[in-house]
Structure 1
Amino acid sequence: KTLALKKEEELRGKITNIKDKISFLIIQIGEDEGTKVYVRQKIKKSEKLGFIPIYKNFGEDISEEEIINFIKEEQKKEDIYGVICEQPIPSKYNSLRIIESIDHNKDIDCLTPYNIGRLAWDQPIFYPATPKAVVDLLENYQIFPEGKKILIISRSIIIGKPLLLMLLKKSKLGNATVICAHSKTKELKELTKVADIIITAVGKPYFLTKEMVKEDSVIIDCGINVVEKEGKSEIVGDAHYDELLDKVKAITPVPGGVGVLTTINLLENIFRSYERKKRV
């Protein structure tokens, strides 16, 4: 948590003396409860730092055109510096069409084809928040990917694909040998056993166990899963934290690990969008 607090203080220092309203738009389609938990965290943290979040939750009775028109109109507003369309978008909609309607200068999630393309060229406008959180953690703890075998268990456009691009880039925080595994990967255990660093984002509670990893490996858990424990809802990761703690070199907790940094990175992107607009 100390890294997140440090970044939060730096951001607060930058935003404190600014008189402008820095607003951003969060759109959620449907009633996914996990998404709502994450949205509440974003709203709370952003307000605490002086940003103005505008949250719009559409029911699934809305048409694709209405969503796209709403995004196009709202993002024209002078004080809107970021647009987030929460994932997952219900399958009845064409997700790509909706995402493509976001102005790439305000695409703080880095999901538009334009911004993913710039990331592939290693010239991003914004770094996607969760993959950036992973790289931030590695850098903070002096765990450099260069020359290491890294296994990413995810191929999503939010985590797996952008993280793959970031870990392959020619730098001290890249130059890794990266394997991307997913639900159709055969013999996953053979891959987890040899990986120096495992990054998991599969959305299955306690999926990664101590039998699956080698000693001295590093585990970064991006999974957010809600489980019932003694009649209460609890958030846990993909990795079995308690049993892995003694075996591995380092492991991130859930909650309190990657997620905390993800929110700060997203807010840093909003501030970056504000700074870019002011420079023009």
Structure 2
Amino acid sequence: MTEIIDGDAVAAEIRDELREGIEALADAGERPGLATVLMSDDPASETYVSMKQRDCEEVGIEGVHVELDADAPAEELYDTVEELNDDPDVHGILVQMPVPDHVDDRRVLRSIDPEKDVDGFHPENVGRMVAGDARFKPCTPHGVQKLLEAADVETEGAEAVVVGRSDIVGKPMANLLVQKAPLGNATTTVCHSRTEDLAAHTRRADVVIAAAGVPEMIDGSMLTEGATVIDVGVNRVEADTEKGYELVGDVDFESATGTAGAITPVPGGVGPMTRAMLLYNTVKAASRQSGVAVDLP
């Protein structure tokens, strides 16, 4: 039978373990602080930010939230980031993307203090990750690694295929898989919208990471028997439901469960892990900035 990898359960375990580190920091007079910045009227972005703030409250991280008008000058956002950089009570900064078109998103990422860049997207942190000396791993790829670990998936020597090449998931995921490190050492192929015969690649993979943002683009016929499938995609598709839509992944879950050895559901798979690893990075940032050593899960 196909094992369903429960992201909610793994994320809960990580949050429980993080509480010990948060208590250790509190005993030393430090409370981790995470600042979220929202410059958007997008309901999904508002929901994501509120969930992240709720997560902070549940584990004992001090949450600070700043909302800016979506029509405000770009300088307001840049100045806000600088103020948070200078605030010693803020250990991590997350600017919710996307930002309005008149804002230079790359400048936003570059303006965050690399020591407070808990998303791991500052060029300095990207470079350190590629070099095998990560300060902060990007939350979603790191969460995927934790799911593979929880499912006892051996990546060393495995054939891994990452479908998607975004800066947020695809590229860092592939980089982490090829590194000479635990949960790495995989022979890794990156596929994308220009890949010819995607199925030829996914059928030979022991591990498939689907992160292209295309609803149910991978089905059971495109998988090898016993493969581990991590579905990063979260797509809204029309459905006869109260909301008028349902959430599906990049993998056709129903057909894939007949072939895969293990698979993550959507929702309840990778999503909770992304949020858990944001908390992880915030605690790590607080530890680094305060000089108080803590054990991380």
TM-score by length of 1: 0.93
The equivalent of 2:12 in structure 1 is 5
Mapping for residues 1-280 of structure 1, pairs under 5 Å:
1-16=8-23, 18=26, 20-229=30-239, 230-232=241-243, 233-279=245-291
Counterpart Cα distance in 2 of 1:86 and 1:207: 27
SS in 2 for 1:40: helix
**Does the CA-based 8 Å contact 2:33-2:286 persist in structure 1?**
no
Question: What amino acid sits opposite 2:191 in the alignment?
Answer: A
Which segments of 5 or more consecutive residues in structure 1 lack a partner in the other structure? none
- Alignment identity in percent? 33
**Does the CA-based 8 Å contact 1:24-1:54 persist in structure 2?**
yes
Counterpart Cα distance in 2 of 1:273 and 1:77: 14
Displacement of 1:155 in angstroms is 1.1
Displacement of 1:11 in angstroms is 1.0
SS in 1 for 2:91: strand
- Farther off after superposition, 9-18 or 250-259: 9-18
Residues 87/183 of structure 1: CA separation in 2 closer, same or farther (3 Å cut): farther
SS in 2 for 1:277: helix
**Does the CA-based 8 Å contact 2:220-2:258 persist in structure 1?**
no
Moved over 6 A (4+): none
Paired residues, number = 280
Deviations 1:204-263 (A, max 9, x none): 222221122222111101112233432324332221212211211010011111111111
Counterpart Cα distance in 2 of 1:84 and 1:192: 34
Question: What amino acid sits opposite 2:123 in the alignment?
Answer: P
SS in 2 for 1:130: helix
SS in 1 for 2:115: coil
| RMSD, aligned CA | 1.8
Structure possessing the higher relative contact order (Cα contacts under 8 Å, 6 or more residues apart): 2
SS in 1 for 2:114: coil
